[in-house]
Structure 1
Amino acid sequence: MKVARFLTVVLVVAGMSFPATVVRAQSVDQFVQAFSGTWQLVDARYSNLPSTCHMALGSTADANGRFAIKGLGCRGDAALVSSWGVSEGQMALFDAAGAVIARLGGNQRRISGTSVSGAPLIFEKVGVAGTAAMLKTAKRAGGCFYSGFTSKCADAAQAAPPAPEGASVQVLVNLNVRAEARDDAEVVGVVPSQTCVTTELCMTATDGAWCRAKFGERTGWMRKLALRQNRWAIVTFDNSCPKQGG
């Protein structure tokens, strides 16, 4: 099936649950309290392996109203970050000269956005439990990750993350596509079940893989693992797509 079947309307996948607590800060103090602390970058390309890039977001403002960031084990755009704050109504990361490196959105568990070089950035708060813990509990209760909305357990290969770049995958459910790789991001459309999609890149977060793909004029993120009715842990797409015809 073609990706052209992608629907550019906001829909909710029946039975799918993606809980998230969105911070609506009433003041700078509340904003800082919500987002200061230590975060880690999901994409290994920003890390000096085997270390993982960590950023400690400070809570004391400088003369420019920005807050210091202490990075550890970071490279690329991440190594240039020296402070954070609010710019044009969004959370922003700044370099030493005060230029914006990235604008981000999200919640106390995950923030994401795109750097000025066009690379995606996904941060997770260190030590904060979220969807990953719920998936683990659901998997343990059900005995496995289920293949889509079936009662069949997915095997290890089906549940594993897809190739980091250029994977051809087949969606198993009517799957929400989001503007960013996080639960509270805008839904930009829905990929119908059994549709084959070619991903641009995939990243593995604590709650499993998220893959970015282009759908017509839009670009969005699909998550590999999800909760069905807050009860069953499921796999939302296969890591390959059956060949059509003979």
Structure 2
Amino acid sequence: MSAAIDAGVAPGEIVLQGAWRAFQIRADRGGTLKEVLLGRRGGGPPPVQALRDVSLHIAPGETVGVIGRNGAGKSSTLRVLAGIVPLDKGRVAIGGQVVSLLELGAGFGRDFSGRENILLNGALHGLQREEIEARMDAIVEFSELGDFIDVPVKTYSSGMFVRLGFAIAAHLDADVLLIDEVLAVGDEAFQRKCETRIAEQVRAGATLVLVSHDAALVERTCARTIVLDHGEVAFDGPTAEGMPFYHRMMGTDGGA
């Protein structure tokens, strides 16, 4: 039942043991007048089992891609690792400072400017104000937002959210980086810049877990690939073997 990020592992180490997680699908609230009066309402669809007894061990400094068809449990796994979603059963433990980039604008105050959100997010990651301000110019430059950095983020496009979110994440001291599909939103030049920055953080010792449908990105970035299917680990090994496995599973291997 434990889903706490704790100090029981080395900095950058990730442990997921016997992880189970189901999500309840909200039933349609409609119904006939007769059903309402007699109280005979359906119970709704059964829960969706997102994770089924998933166990993983990721060593400090590893680069791991998590891939699979839609609904395979990829994003659920990342949210469990980030401590956003609790487990129904099992254990997750992560050592050190975790920096996650999972959803556009997650953690942003929508009425605050980009600059104010940099201060807010830095504080949420344990930085003192002077530490954040020392990195402010580099974050603003990386984001390429120009004068929009002082505009409320509720006016931002999805691409601008990505630029700001990644610029902040790229300048935090991370033992573990958790990144979901968000990089697919930025333009190609910005994606390449993000990949370069990720590589720098990995060379500095950060552990990377990347969820993506972009096979080429996973091949460029990750030495290890985990393929999920219906909430279970279908493959866990070198990316050079994992990508062909995934394409065969998806029927996109060209008949090879």
Same fold, TM-score > 0.5, yes or no: no
> Greater helix share, 1 or 2?
2
**Using CA pairs below 8 Å that are at least 6 residues apart, which structure has the higher relative contact order?**
2
Higher-Rg structure is: 2
TM tier relative to shorter chain: under 0.3
> Greater strand share, 1 or 2?
1
